Amino acid sequence: MPVSVNESGIPSEDTVTITVNGKQIAAAKGEMIISATDRAGVNVPRFCYHPRMKPVGMCRMCLVEVSGPRGMSLQPACYLPVADGMEVVTDSEKVRKAQDGVLEFLLVNHPLDCPVCDKGGECPLQDQTLAYGPGESRFVEEKRHWAKPIELSDLVLLDRERCIQCARCTRFASEIAGDPLIDFFSRGDSTEVAIAPGEKFTSYFSGNTVQICPVGALTATPYRFAARPWDLEQVESTCTSCATGCRVVVQSSSNQVIRYLGVDSDPVNQSWLCDKGRFDFEAHRAGSRVTVPMVREGGELVECTWAEALRKAAEGIGRAMEVASDPSSAVGVIGGARLANEDAYAWAKLVKSVIGTDSVDADLGDGLPADAVLGLPKATIDEVCSAPLVLVMTPDLRELAPILFLRLKAAAQSGRTKVIELTSVGTALGRYATETLVYRPGEAASLVAALFADSDPKPLAAGMEIPPIAGVAASDVARTRALLAGFSSAVAVVGRPSLAESTEATVAAVAALSAARPETRYLTVHRRGNLHGALDAGLAPGILPGRVTLEGGRSTFAAESGWGRVPASTGMSTHEILRSAAQGSLGALILLGADPVVDFPDHESEKALSGGAFVVAVTAHLCESARRADVVLPAAMYAERGGTTTNFEGRVTTLGKKVTPPGQAWEDWAIAAELATALGSDLGFTSFDDIAAERTRLVPLFRHFTPHIWNAPSTRDGVLLPLATAPVGLTGAPRALDPVATPGIGSLPHHAVRPPSPSPLFAGTGTTGPSGAVASPGAVRFSRPASPPDLPAPDAYSLRLVAPYRLYDCGTHVVGSAHLAALAPVGTVRVNHYDLDRLGASTGDTLRAVSPGGSHQVVVEVDDEVQRGTAVMGFNLAVAEGSVSARSLIDLSAPVTDIRLEAHR
């Protein structure tokens, strides 16, 4: 039966009609009155209600008159579901009296210190008091007093006198974040929010409590007293701290980024942000920021003009190009995931057409290969979170993509989605998963094969036990296999679970799944913000912009109206580029916001920059690698440039430029354009729009993707490429930002990235296209390796290394943000107590780790979440004096890294 959809977007068979203030409106069966009135544009004041959390009906601010069996009565609009024929009155004398009353009661114990309160000017309590409140307070008694702000954590402070006990923060912590570390304490009007003695509110999501607090009770240390709301300007943007692509507003004052707030983007972050994304804006003004071009003179980096830096860079690159027969073996380019899509396109053109090298790689040996990211059938976050069954083969998503973790957790908790997790170490998702199978690092492929085999494994001989598979008990495999067999269409979230296992090992697991269940769709997750956008622009060996292979795109791009030329053959990956540089056979190396010295999972990565290659670093921060470069070109950061970005779903969203780059930093596309000129060529770009226009013209994937698409309200959440038709339709009503859900967004003037200009092009309706690969000839396809890599047999004395990402690490953004830097853990090697006892060692001891990278000191720690025979060390963490970080232990050319721990002598 066709389901018709009414204006409000609700299928009509689930619709009821209610009367609000005499007007009939449609509402979805089961929804609360308040969401129906919100949609109808009827404002009902509220405090405790938050559209993204279960209602509690506590504050009583939303009382409205509702018809019932015993006539009209006051009921909480946030807690009463609509019923057909229900009559609701929101503006009667009785309602106003009740609202007046509640507000007056709320102010009874409120300090009314608005002039010194961070929230003053964007405070729902203040705003609603003006709109609905009594003229003045009749309260003349002594107010409740608490000691002024107390620290809930390093990031969040609590002023209890201002708290109105709405329980938004405590509910967020337990219900949404799953970190019930704050709770109400005491009773009645002594109720306060508190933590347990000796504990802190250490949650990756703590900043959200500050965002949703409807008063000034919770404040964030990085924002405190930084600005007054009326001084703030804001622009909508997309967070690129990880690849989830959460929608945010960037707020600034006096050309300084001051605050990020999460925007309620239904398909992505649903208003939440992780603390890293929220607070790493301090990196914009970090001391390590590069603001002036520099060249190496007499062994030192010295400041110079752009002209000179460009000239030097062009010289170095030109020399390398001259001596080599094939530019792909002479010039390597690493990075690009930091760029906006348009920057990436300009760089791709510079690199592949002007310089002519195909040795460019935005992936730093830590993700899935480009053919997997671009070529596997895609699933969106929504599809993953509404699937009945999801297979998750990723690192701990709370560390890698915190908001994706929240979405999956919510899906699992709702009972809608069963999560089956394959992992080598315990993850935060494990608590919510239906099954967690812990396999031996590197051996996911054989586990996947067994899970999808036609039958259960047999014992080797009658009467013998069935041996475990990849370290997983046969009974667990059988149980999970049965569960998987019950689901016809699988959805999988895949990513590189550990940087100590090679890409091949991960790809083999994906290949096993794709062979067994070809219909599977994938959400490929990676850490680097705009990796997908960089790959879409062709910043990887063997591909051209638009998810096509070098061969597939050659005719278009090499043509005269295109780029003129493209590389002749497939170039090197990052690992190969670095190896070639280390061996002294690379002429020039361009680092595009990449820091391979510390950020590449191989013990030899450091050597690359001392092999004699001419190094150009395009960077915002003077990172380890940039310090060793010959030319350093200062680039604009996140909030300093516009354009678009692409998350791991392949969703393209806008970036907002809010502040100007410091000093002489330039946007990356401009650097590409000028470098091309210095190289005696011309990219043909003098503006962003030039780039977008060429891309739309040349790249089928970007067909219909014009700047105008952002005028449609439905594209606020981004678009999935390719777009099926132009124009993008006006489906769905524009979502009003709820000023009480996120105070500080709605109360500010809100300007979209581009002012809407009505265009005749967009009068019709259409929809965004299906997610997936381009159907054009030459599309990148996932290439299944013939067989999984050979793994060394586990030996009794070795520990297999797992090097997972940690949210707070030594990346430039964390290090550059003082409030976050303090939260980064120290890197230790964590092992099961059994393996440590054997060595007679205990937590805190320094041991010798013998690895392919040599023999080094490490500090060990007992962690029984770690399996026996496994060692876990977070990647890119600071370590104790004299010991080494995970990178120094990893051998990326082997499928897995085994290490041996030895007591010191």
Partner 1 sequence: MSGTPRTGAPFIVTSRTGDATRPPMEEGHTLNAYLASGGYQGLRKALTMNPEEVVAEVLASNLLGRGGAGFEAGRKWSMVRPNPVRYLVINGDESEPATFKDRMLMERDPHQLVEGTLIAAYAIGAAQAFIFIRGEFALGMERVIAAVNDAYRHGAIGANIFGSGFSVDLVVHPGAGAYICGEETALLESLEGKRGYPRIKPPFFPAAIGLYGEPTVVNNVETVSNLPWIVSNGGAAFAALGQGRSTGTRIFALSGHVVRPGNYEVEMSKLTFRDLIFDPELGGGVRGGKSVKAFIPGGASAPWFGPDQLDLPLDQDAVGKAGSMLGSGSVIVMDSDTCAVRAAWRIARFFHRESCGQCTPCREGSGWIDKVMRRIEDGQGREEDLDLLMDACDNIAPGVSWPPAQTTICVLGPSIPSSVAWSIRMFRDEYLLHIKEGACPCP
Partner 2 sequence: MAGLTPENLARARETVALYPQPRSALIPLCHQAQAQEGWLTPDAISQIAELVGVSAAEVRGTASFYDMLHLEPVGKFLIGVCTNISCMLGGAYELLAHAEDRLGIRCGQTTADGTFTLEEMECLAGCDGPTCVAVNYRYFPNQDESTFDTLVDDLAAGRLDGDVPCHGTVSRVDRTVTLMAQRDEVLAERAASDRARSERQAAKEAKG
Q: Which residues bind partner 2 (CB under 8 A)?
A: 174, 180-187, 194-199
User: Which of 79, 272, 347, 648 is the binder for partner 1 (CB under 8 A)?
Assistant: 79
Q: Least distance (Å) from ligand FES to the CB of residue 128?
A: 11
The site for partner 1, by CB under 8 A, has a size of: 36
Stretch that binds partner 1, among 59-67, 594-602, 603-611, 796-804 (CB under 8 A): 59-67
Q: Least distance (Å) from partner 2 to the CB of residue 194?
A: 7
Strand partners, 18: 25
Q: What are the DSSP calls for 232-266, one per residue?
A: -EEEEEE--SSTT--EEEEEEETTEEEEEEE---T
Q: How far is residue 25's CA from residue 651's CA, in Å, rounded to a whole number?
A: 34
User: Which of 39, 46, 352, 887 is the binder for ligand FES (CB under 6 A)?
Assistant: 46
Q: Least distance (Å) from partner 2 to the CB of residue 905?
A: 39
Q: Among partner 1, ligand FES, partner 2, none, what binds residue 336 when CB lies within 5 to 8 Å by partner kind?
A: none
Residue pair 49/33 in contact (Cβ under 8 Å)? The answer is no
Q: Among partner 1, ligand FES, partner 2, none, what binds residue 49 when CB lies within 5 to 8 Å by partner kind?
A: ligand FES
Judge residue 818's burial from the number of C-beta atoms within 10 Å of its C-beta, 0-12 exposed, 13-18 middle, 19 or more buried.
middle
Q: How far is residue 26's CA from residue 117's CA, in Å, rounded to a whole number?
A: 40
User: Which of 27, 59, 412, 622 is the binder for partner 1 (CB under 8 A)?
Assistant: 59
Phi, psi of 688 (to 5 degrees): -55, -45
Q: What is the DSSP letter of 53?
A: S
The site for ligand FES, by CB under 6 A, has a size of: 12
Nearer to ligand FES, 20 or 477 (CB): 20
Q: Least distance (Å) from partner 2 to the CB of residue 208?
A: 17
Taking CA atoms, 640 is separated from 12, 663, 816, in Å, by 45, 12, 16
- Neighbouring CB atoms inside 10 A of 189's CB total 10
SS3 461: coil
Q: What are the DSSP calls for 164-207, one per residue?
A: ----HHHHIIIIISS---EEEESSGGG-EEEE-TT-----TTTH
- For ligand FES, the binding residues in 463-522 under the rule CB under 6 A are none
3-class DSSP string for 884-896 = CCHHHHCCCCCCE
Q: How far is residue 720's CA from residue 377's CA, in Å, rounded to a whole number?
A: 13
Q: Least distance (Å) from partner 2 to the CB of residue 193?
A: 9
Nearer to partner 1, 129 or 244 (CB): 129
User: Which of 10, 25, 61, 831 is the binder for partner 1 (CB under 8 A)?
Assistant: 61
Stretch that binds ligand FES, among 53-61, 429-437, 489-497, 718-726 (CB under 6 A): 53-61
Please enumerate in sequence order all residues whose Cβ is within 8 A of that of 37, keeping only pairs 6 or more positions apart, or say none: 20, 25, 43, 44, 64, 77, 88, 90
Q: At what angle do helices 668-678 and 306-323 cross, to 10 degrees?
A: 60
Token pair 């405090």 is at which residue? Answer: 47
Q: Least distance (Å) from partner 2 to the CB of residue 183?
A: 3
Q: Among ligand FES, partner 2, partner 1, none, what binds residue 197 when CB lies within 5 to 8 Å by partner kind?
A: partner 2
Q: How far is residue 386's CA from residue 389's CA, in Å, rounded to a whole number?
A: 8
Q: Least distance (Å) from partner 1 to the CB of residue 29?
A: 14
The contact mask relative to partner 1 for 711-750 (x = CB under 8 A, - = no) is ----------------------------------------
- For partner 1, the binding residues in 130-189 under the rule CB under 8 A are 138-139, 141-142, 144, 164-165, 184, 187-189
- For ligand FES, the binding residues in 68-87 under the rule CB under 6 A are 76, 78
Phi, psi of 539 (to 5 degrees): -80, 60
Nearest to 455 by CA among 435, 476, 477: 477
Q: Among partner 2, ligand FES, partner 1, none, what binds residue 101 when CB lies within 5 to 8 Å by partner kind?
A: partner 1
Nearer to ligand FES, 57 or 377 (CB): 57
Q: What is the DSSP letter of 65?
A: E
Q: How far is residue 48's CA from residue 32's CA, in Å, rounded to a whole number?
A: 14
Nearer to partner 2, 203 or 798 (CB): 203
Please enumerate in sequence order all residues whose Cβ is within 8 A of that of 8, keeping only pairs 6 or more positions apart, or say none: 26, 39, 733
- Neighbouring CB atoms inside 10 A of 354's CB total 23
User: Which of 73, 291, 555, 767 is the binder for partner 1 (CB under 8 A)?
Assistant: 73
Q: Among partner 1, partner 2, ligand FES, none, what binds residue 141 when CB lies within 5 to 8 Å by partner kind?
A: partner 1
Stretch that binds ligand FES, among 54-62, 272-280, 641-649, 889-897 (CB under 6 A): 54-62
Residue pair 234/750 in contact (Cβ under 8 Å)? The answer is yes
Q: At what angle do helices 444-451 and 503-516 cross, to 10 degrees?
A: 10
Q: Among partner 2, ligand FES, partner 1, none, what binds residue 902 when CB lies within 5 to 8 Å by partner kind?
A: none
User: Which of 60, 517, 575, 856 is the binder for ligand FES (CB under 6 A)?
Assistant: 60
User: Which of 10, 18, 36, 58 is the binder for ligand FES (CB under 6 A)?
Assistant: 58
- For partner 1, the binding residues in 758-787 under the rule CB under 8 A are none
SS3 691: helix
Nearer to partner 2, 426 or 895 (CB): 426
SS3 824: coil
The rounded radius of gyration (Å) of the Cα atoms in the chain is 28
- At 20, list the tokens: 């609000």
Considering Cα of 695, then 701, then 706, then 707, what sign does the dihedral take? negative
Q: Least distance (Å) from partner 2 to the CB of residue 829?
A: 27
Taking CB under 6 A as the rule, does residue 49 contact ligand FES? yes
Please list, residue by residue across 875-897, b when 16 or more beta carbons sit within 10 angstroms of its beta carbon and e when fewer do: bbbebeeebbbbbbbbbbebbbb
The contact mask relative to partner 1 for 88-127 (x = CB under 8 A, - = no) is ------x--xx-xxx-xxx-xx------------------
Stretch that binds partner 1, among 75-83, 401-409, 698-706, 745-753 (CB under 8 A): 75-83
Judge residue 736's burial from the number of C-beta atoms within 10 Å of its C-beta, 0-12 exposed, 13-18 middle, 19 or more buried.
exposed
Nearest to 825 by CA among 890, 891, 899, 885: 885
Q: How far is residue 492's CA from residue 471's CA, in Å, rounded to a whole number?
A: 22
Q: Among partner 1, partner 2, ligand FES, none, what binds residue 105 when CB lies within 5 to 8 Å by partner kind?
A: partner 1
Nearer to partner 2, 170 or 574 (CB): 170
Nearer to partner 2, 186 or 455 (CB): 186
Q: Least distance (Å) from partner 2 to the CB of residue 23?
A: 43
Stretch that binds ligand FES, among 59-67, 283-291, 462-470, 807-815 (CB under 6 A): 59-67
Taking CB under 8 A as the rule, does residue 190 contact partner 1? yes
Please list, residue by residue across 95-134, b when 16 or more beta carbons sit within 10 angstroms of its beta carbon and e when fewer do: beebbeebbbbbbebbbeebeebbbebbbbbbbbbeebbe
Nearer to ligand FES, 169 or 491 (CB): 169
Q: Among ligand FES, partner 1, partner 2, none, what binds residue 98 when CB lies within 5 to 8 Å by partner kind?
A: partner 1
Taking CB under 6 A as the rule, does residue 57 contact ligand FES? yes
Q: Among ligand FES, partner 1, partner 2, none, what binds residue 104 when CB lies within 5 to 8 Å by partner kind?
A: partner 1
- At 226, list the tokens: 């930084």
User: Which of 45, 51, 76, 804 is the binder for partner 1 (CB under 8 A)?
Assistant: 76
Where along the sequence are the contacts to ligand FES (CB under 6 A)? 46-49, 57-62, 76, 78
Where along the sequence are the contacts to partner 1 (CB under 8 A)? 56-61, 63, 73-74, 76, 79-80, 94, 97-98, 100-102, 104-106, 108-109, 138-139, 141-142, 144, 164-165, 184, 187-191
